[in-house]
Structure 1
Amino acid sequence: MKAFWTYTLARFAVFGVSFGVVWLISSIWLETTRVTTLWVLLISLVVSSVISIFVLAGLRDQLAQSVQERATRMTQRVEESRRAEDID
């Protein structure tokens, strides 16, 4: 579960930084309106997604490993329960 929260917080941090940078750049050249804010949000989502693909690859691999280990443990428990039912 620690890997999930670490990755999630890192994604939020990358999005926050990209939103701040795009907002700063847009505020220099554009007037702040609701449409501008929406575009800043959409551009920030795309930019942070691309950055996350490369920068957070290690954290994503750790998360995938954690999920795989948990799935393996759950599968083993189900198989043990199934064997115990067959014995009775």
Structure 2
Amino acid sequence: MGRYTLMRLGIFAGCFMVVWGLVYSGIAPRGLGGSNFMWVILLSLVISAPISFVVLRKERDRASAQVVARVDRVKTNLERNRNQEDTADDTAREGI
């Protein structure tokens, strides 16, 4: 999961540098007034999202499989604990 996040951040940083270069060289339009920095960040986010979606597909699937495995493991542990509690409660009730 951390690898996917770092790769996504790297794509954003690359897009940020390209957009920043284009804005400050005058090729891309500047933001209004003092909003230049926010304009560059927003434009970088809009550009990096579809690039990340396409380029990181395999890594996203791998991260998703890890999350699913972790959730399944937690569900199994919770069910096991619930069954132990039920067994203990049934045993205690039989003794009454």
Partner deviation per Cα, 1:21-72 (whole Å, 9 max, x = no partner):
0011111116796322221111001111111110111111111100100000
Structure 1: give runs of 5+ residues left out of the alignment. Answer: none
Q: CA RMSD in A?
A: 1.6
- In the other structure, the counterpart of 2:74 is 74
What is the TM-score normalised by the length of structure 1? Answer: 0.88
Q: Using the alignment, how far apart are the partners of 1:37 and 1:19 within structure 2?
A: 10
Q: Using the alignment, how far apart are the partners of 2:22 and 2:36 within structure 1?
A: 12
Deviation at 1:87, TM superposition (A): 1.4
- In the other structure, the counterpart of 1:53 is 53
What is the TM-score normalised by the length of structure 2? Answer: 0.81
Q: Using the alignment, how far apart are the partners of 1:34 and 1:16 within structure 2?
A: 21
Q: Give the letter for the 2:7 counterpart.
A: A
For the pair 1:6 / 2:9, whether they are aligned, the reply is no
Greater CA radius of gyration, 1 or 2?
Answer: 2
Structure 2: give runs of 5+ residues left out of the alignment. Answer: 89-96
For the pair 1:20 / 2:17, whether they are aligned, the reply is yes
Q: Give the letter for the 1:14 counterpart.
A: I
Higher relative contact order (CA 8 A, sep 6+): 1
- In the other structure, the counterpart of 1:42 is 42
Query: Which runs of at least 4 in structure 1 moved beyond 6 Å after TM superposition?
Result: none
For the pair 1:62 / 2:65, whether they are aligned, the reply is no
Tell me which protein shows more helix as a share of its residues.
1
Deviation at 1:86, TM superposition (A): 1.6
Matched residues, percent identical?
34
